[in-house]
Chain A
Amino acid sequence: MEQRVTYGQEVITREIDEIAEVVGNQLTEEMKEKAKKIALDYFGQNINTDPQTLARASFYIALKEYKCDAEKSVGTLINNNGKQNHWWLYVVPIVEKRLGRK
């Protein structure tokens, strides 16, 4: 169990760092940390969640909160470094709801 948690946390951190690099250097460290916090908090309570999908959903939520142009980053988030994943779109509302942001 502990091993799986650590692995999931690693995937989340790596995924958010990678996306941040692709999206651009206008992103602050603070925003990146916010995205990681959203993902890791949710993952802590739901360890069966796919970490890559959760990382991308959390990144999008953090982008919105920091008033970055989140819409422009949707394509990058779907196709990060050639790794396709559009399922995070469907996870955004669920994570937001859990965080009490909706």
Chain B
Amino acid sequence: MLVTGPPDNGRDEYLEVALPELQKHGKIGYHHVFDYMKKIAPSCGVSSLKRENVFDVPRAKIYEIRNKAFSQIIEKIEDSSNNIEIVSTPCVFKAPIRGDYYDGIVEGLTIEIMKSLNPNLLMFFIDDLLKVRTRVNEDSQKSKLDRKLKDLAEWRELSLKIAQDYAHARVLQAKAKSVFLGFIIFAKQHPTSTFVDLLLGKKPRIYLSYHITGQSDFKDVQRFMNKLKTSFVCIDPYAIKDWQIVNAYDKAIGENKKEVIMKTEETDGKITTDRLSLKETQEAIDLIRSQIVERDFEIIANVHATVVYHRSETPSYGVMVEVFHSANVVLRPVYVLYPFKVRLSPFFEHYIKPGNMVQGEKVLRMEDALVRKLRKEYKNWSTGPYT
């Protein structure tokens, strides 16, 4: 399995917590590419390779060290008896524009490297842009770089493009020797149990679609997600909080403010406040908005089914489009839980297969009924992996 993504998204610190949990399920090999590079560097004429001096080394030399690191990792994996091997590295780095690094880009991964690794799961790991911004600002090496919100969004987009190109080619090789379980865009806010389930690849993956705009209390969604988790891997689109930037920006515009203020509730219940200038947010906002949509579409294409928790009588553009994309474009089965008496819009109902909607008033019972239904029907979904 290959875990990649843009740098400074907290990939390594997440893996540190998730790996011990994963080790309960078998022998795990973990390969952090930069650790290999540091060991190989002296044999390539670089006496000491550190994060601080990496961009002082000529680009060709860095690529030589990187390629040797991957060759060593592949050799180790081939000789290994582990149940799961995890390779972790960023897709692409942004270097200070100078000398050899005239375009400011350093590839952590290439299509050729990914082909050699031949992972059966490609995880694109991301964190909230605001958290990445904080990390980058705290990092002395990266602080030499342009660190505006727009740059971070562009960095994420560029990284995703590289991972997507490889993943899309692999989707068509389903008959190949090793089964490609998929390409998952994975947000750091997901619990480590979700990461473990994804890696084990035994539970079908579900995209949980629900109303986000204008909502603040998600306890019901969390409760339903916990029920689903016993049998499914539940991918939560709100695990990445780009929506907060969009909402805070709209609010600032509406109130003629020069500052965009974002309050985020952390998993431990603490509230953090981030402040950005209107100008900086404005420069990034189009990219952030389009990434919300593109990212969710890509996740939907890589799950086995979409489940809608329709927690409001009013419609949601996001939910409607996610249903349309699931049912109409990538042909994923769609199930809906709708805990209200009044029927949904006929436009919405049109895309839901008869029998796939659980409607009524007793929400807890309905949640259980839908989970039972999903457990009964998942074996017949047309989206199962080839074996």
Contacts and interface: CB of A to CB of B under 8 A. Distances in A.
A94 interface: yes
The A interface is mostly helix, strand or loop, or mixed, namely helix
Interface residues of A, number: 21
A19 to B, nearest CB: 16
Contact of A50 (B164, B168, B301, B329): B329
B271 interface: no
A91 B330 contact: yes
B328 A48 contact: yes
A87 B164 CA distance: 12
A92 B386 CA distance: 12
The B interface is mostly helix, strand or loop, or mixed, namely loop
A48 B297 CA distance: 18
Interface stretch (B69-77, B117-125, B169-177): B169-177
B301 A87 contact: yes
B172 A87 contact: no
Q: Which of B175, B297, B328 has the most CB of A within 10 A?
A: B328
What interface size band does chain B fall in? 20 to 34
B301 A74 contact: no
Q: Which of B328, B330, B331 has the most CB of A within 10 A?
A: B331
B168 A93 contact: no
A46 B330 CA distance: 12
B383 interface: yes
A53 interface: yes
A50 B328 contact: yes
A102 interface: yes
B386 A93 contact: yes
A57 B361 CA distance: 41
Interface of B: 164, 168-169, 171-172, 174-175, 297, 301-302, 327-331, 350-351, 382-383, 386
